[in-house]
Amino acid sequence: MVLHRVHHQILRSHHLFEPLNEEQLDELMSTSHLLSIDKGEPLFRQGEPADSFYFIIAGAVKIYRLTPDGQEKVFEVISDRQTFAEAMMLMDTPNYVASAEAICPTQLYRLSNSTYMRLLQNNSRLTFALLGKLCVRLHQRVNEIETLSLKNATHRVVRYLLTQLVRQQTVDSQFELPMAKQLIAGHLSIQPETFSRIIRRLIDENIITQDGRQIAILDRLRLEQFE
């Protein structure tokens, strides 16, 4: 497929594609597909053959699994200019170990595992870039396990709010929650009612305000110290 100039620049900014020369990038994109999907549309289900990974141009996708009792556990929400499912290329299992679904209208590339693996064999910079990506993901998972094991629900919510504030780099201490509270609660392994109750406590204490998904931090120091 012909790569749009803007998409070309976006892909080049990502460390999994930056080491590719133009010929190699063209080879990868020749077996890729640009998808535009609606909210709630699945990309793959747990157990399906893992033959592709994805790069999001715009939108967001949740990665999740269903527990034996039917509860949805959200592992991660992937947003603009991020990849997902690339780890499957190096795993022994041929099938996806989780499911992926759009949480809003999303445009993304579906990229061929076999083509990328062929390029890896001929480009050591690309190999190390992929290893670096997987190491970052591993450290993120270790931190999440520590948080879930050692911190109570309030600490998880406070840490999540502070992380969103830093990530969105706002100057006025305001930001928009990137997803619905049910998804945030699932990501933090707490019940939606618990999440709402903690947010209400923070509001009652005049630490934050909320207007829909818009959050304003009134007292960051108190939020950091909130028990």
Q: Write the pLDDT tens digit of every residue in 173-196.
A: 889 898 888 899 988 888 888 899
3-state secondary structure of 122: coil
User: Measured between alpha carbons, how far is 132 from 136 in angstroms, rounded to an integer?
Assistant: 6
- List pLDDT tens digits, range 36-94: 999 999 999 999 999 999 999 999 999 999 888 888 889 889 999 999 998 888 776 78
Place of tokens 């099938």: 95
| Cβ-based neighbour number of residue 20 at 10 Å | 21
Statement: the pTM of the whole predicted model exceeds 0.85: no
User: Measured between alpha carbons, how far is 67 from 72 in angstroms, rounded to an integer?
Assistant: 6
Domains of the chain, with CATH numbers? Answer: 5-136 (2.60.120.10), 151-225 (1.10.10.10)
